[in-house]
Amino acid sequence: MKWMVALVALVLVAGCTGGGGGEAGGAGEAVGEKVAEKVKEEVAPDNWCVKGSYWQWANPTTGESASLEVKGIVEHEGKKTCKAEMKSTTGEKYARMEGYFTKDGEYTHVLFYDEQDRLRAEWKMEGGKFLLREYDEQGNVVNEFSMGEGGMQIPGMPIPGQ
Query: pLDDT grade, residue 145 (50/70/90)?
Result: very high
Residue 124 is given by DSSP the state: E
Domain boundaries, the chain: 2-147
Helix/strand/coil percent split, the chain, to 5: 10, 45, 45
- Alpha carbon of 78 to those of 20, 37, 58, 75, 100: distances in Å? 28, 31, 36, 6, 12
Q: What is the pLDDT at residue 95?
A: 85
Residue 152 is given by DSSP the state: B
In the chain, pLDDT over 90 holds for what percent of residues? 46
d(CA 78, CA 19): 27
Query: pLDDT grade, residue 86 (50/70/90)?
Result: very high
Mean pLDDT is lowest, of 9-23, 55-69, 77-91, 136-150, for: 9-23
Q: Assign 3 to helix, strand or coil.
A: helix
Query: What average pLDDT does this structure show over 87-110?
Result: 88
Q: What is the pLDDT at residue 154?
A: 53
21-73: per-residue pLDDT in tens? 333 333 444 445 565 554 444 444 557 899 999 999 998 888 888 899 999 99
